[in-house]
Amino acid sequence: MSAPAVVLHVDALLFDSDGVLVDSHAQVDVAWRALADEFRLDFSVLATQLVGVPARQTLARHLGGARLDAAIGRLEDLEVETAATTAAVRGATELLVALPADRWAVVTSATRRLGEARWSGAGIPMPAFAITADDVARGKPAPDPYLAGAALLGADPARCLVFEDSAAGGDAAVAAGAAVVAVGDQVWRVTEVVRVTDLATVRVEIAPSGGLLVTFTGDAVSQTP
């Protein structure tokens, strides 16, 4: 028996990129391992620190000065080199195509160059609005990226629905005052309104009031009490 549908009424949608719209886990692993070898860093430590946050925040814990800048530049090159093999998360393309372009934005910890390379590689629609690591001084888990994303759309953060896969991203969304959907199975520190496996069970329509009605259906969906 299928779980009952969950319906949320919001004004705008904010999507994290990696792990939500695109599956770049294999590419991230290859790039960070190569960087660790080149800069003599412990990958096993980096792997516990890099998910959902800007690369600079992670690398600044281990490097400084010119060496930090060199590592950041090198990592971006390594990640862009593999971006063409990025895949779309199931349901992402269909959902984005169905949305009005001015009602959604991508809010990612990647740089704009890397984000655009991965979106192109995955074949998903290019966002008309995006906040990247280049646009904010403080990245996730600070609320700044999601506050900036809401402002870009002219929306109240409290009327935005965020889609996130990482604990840091979930923290950022809640700190910004937004409701957040957890995509995947990472353990979070905050409470999501819905948890889904991917975006294939998500449908959006325009409400009579002009807002967005976001419906989650199927056994892959669970609503947090």
The catalytically annotated residue of 18, 144, 165, 171 is: 18
Catalytic residue list contains 185: no
The single residue of 11, 16, 23, 198 carrying the catalytic annotation is 16
How many Å apart are CA 210 and CA 10, to the nearest integer? 10
Q: What is the chain's percent helix, strand, coil content, to nearest 5?
A: 40, 20, 40
210 Cβ neighbours under 8 A, 6+ residues apart: none
The CA-CA-CA angle for residues 144, 145, 150, to 5°, reads 95
Active site residue 16: yes
Handedness of CA 135, 13, 115, 67 (dihedral sign): positive
d(CA 172, CA 191): 12
How far the first Cα of the chain sits from its last, in Å, is: 20
List the catalytic residues. Answer: 16, 18
